[in-house]
Amino acid sequence: MLRLKSILLVLCAMVLSACAQTKTPITSSMNRTALPAAQTEQERAVMRQANALDRMSRDLVRKTTMKGAAIGAVAGCGLAVVGGAKSKCAQAALVGGVIGGIAGNAAGKDQVKKRVEIVELSRVLPSLRETKEQMALVSQDVPSLIAQQNAEIASMQTQLAAGTLDQTSYDARLAEIQSVRSDLAQALSLSARQAKQAKEALLAAKAQGQTGVDWYIAETNKLEVEAVSARAQISLL
């Protein structure tokens, strides 16, 4: 009986020892704030909006310039044929494409103005409207995002000073905010540049004799101004 009791005591000691080894140790970091998320949902949403604006403004540039270049190639070649220089058709087409549909002598320019629409406004309109709507969303949401980030940074600095947030977590989140702002600023700068390109293409079409483009010029100018304004609100820290 004594021998059995001894065996049982040994087994109990082994079990208790195993349990002690599998316990998770309690660390002193329990009272510290956990590492903040890499990006907030608000940041992801605004970045999606800015990237969509960039894509739309690029499409707007294509809609205001592609037809002019294509017409330039055809018109340049046509004018060369009319002038009896068929062998130089390719050269004339290239020149015509570069200058957006105007090539040859003064008489040839006048004929092209009468025959073609340099910018196909029916294709520009839906693209312009879509870009304007997206710009309105970005203009509305960028200020609130910047305010939220500034408040978060101030809160993290307070926690860091109080010792409830460690330096590594603070640095990681601050770097993420800086990255978001940098990407957002770049997307808005590109959108402003592309709106300016679309405006300049429309101004060129007007200078070449196309009518009905004044509203489009004004709206693309507004897009450029709004994109520049939204970009100006972003401090890169």
Question: Rounded mean pLDDT of the chain?
Answer: 78
Assigned domain for 106 exists:
no
Identity of the residue numbered 159:
Q
Digit-coded pLDDT (tens) for 102-148: 444 554 555 454 445 899 999 999 999 999 999 999 999 999 999 99
Domain residues for 189? Answer: 40-65+120-232
Among 2-16, 26-40, 42-56, 130-144, which is the least confidently predicted range? 2-16
Q: What's the rounded mean pLDDT across residues 8-37?
A: 46
Higher-pLDDT residue of 221 and 108 is 221
Q: What is the CATH number of the domain that holds 203?
A: 1.20.1050
Is 224 contained in some domain?
A: yes
> What pLDDT sits at residue 34?
52
> What domain count does the chain have?
1
Provide the 8-state DSSP code for 163.
T
Residue 39 is predicted with a pLDDT of 86
Does pTM surpass 0.85? no
Residue 165, in any domain of the structure: yes
Domain presence at residue 211: yes
Instruction: Between 112 and 208, name the one with better pLDDT.
Output: 208
Task: Record the tokens describing residue 55, joined without a space.
Answer: 């894509």
pLDDT tens per residue, range 151-185: 999 999 999 999 999 999 999 999 999 999 999 99
Q: Give 213's contacts (C-beta < 8 A, 6+ positions apart).
A: 119, 121, 202, 205, 206
**186 is a domain residue:** yes
- 56: nearest Cα among 198, 222, 183, 226: 198
Query: What number of other Cβ atoms are within 10 A of residue 7's Cβ?
Result: 9
